[in-house]
Amino acid sequence: MKEEQSLFANYLKSKGLKMTSARRTVLRAFIKSEGHLSAEDLLAAAKKIDPGLGQATVFRTLKLLSDAGLAQDACQEEGPRRYEHVYKQSHHDHLICIGCGKMIEFCHPEIEKAQNEIFKKFGFRGTGHKLELRGLCADCARKLDEENK
């Protein structure tokens, strides 16, 4: 947490902003949280630390965390935007259930290899990618099958 706090404080300083106690609380809640968080999830987690935090403060701080390179969009087109930790995290892609919204992280060497081949074929210098595969998780598929019987 200290390293992320230092990076965030330096980023804020570079933008002429200060590390307030509210921003520190939101950062702490974000770092302690696992998985993929919506802004509302982060608000709930931050309010457990400081019940006086406002929604606007949490939303603005989440944007700053993203701009500082500590958080990023977990590519999701539908539903609330979700964020995930990116600082010192390994690359991964996502499986997303269109039924319940469950999100699973995965990494597959063949996808990484194909990505590099595509970059090369089209003369791109790759800087990364985001892959999102959509479908029904086993539970949602089972429920759908039961409903259609």
CATH of domain 1-88: 1.10.10.10
> What separation in angstroms does the CA of 11 have from each of 36, 79, 87?
23, 30, 14
Q: Does this model's pTM top 0.75?
A: no
The DSSP secondary structure of 19-68, one letter per residue, reads --HHHHHHHHHHHH--S-EEHHHHHHHHHHH-TT--HHHHHHHHHHHHHT
Q: Give percent of the chain above pLDDT 90.
A: 48
How is the chain split into domains, by residue range?
1-88, 90-149
How many Cα neighbours within 13 Å face the side chain of 123? 0
Instruction: Report how far residue 35's alpha carbon sits from residue 30's, in angstroms, rounded to the nearest whole number.
Output: 10
Q: Is domain 90-149 classified as CATH 3.30.1490.190?
A: yes
The 10s digit of each residue's pLDDT in 21-73 is: 999 999 999 988 877 888 898 999 999 999 999 999 999 999 999 899 888 87
Q: Which two tokens stand for residue 49?
A: 């630390």
DSSP three-state, residue 99: coil
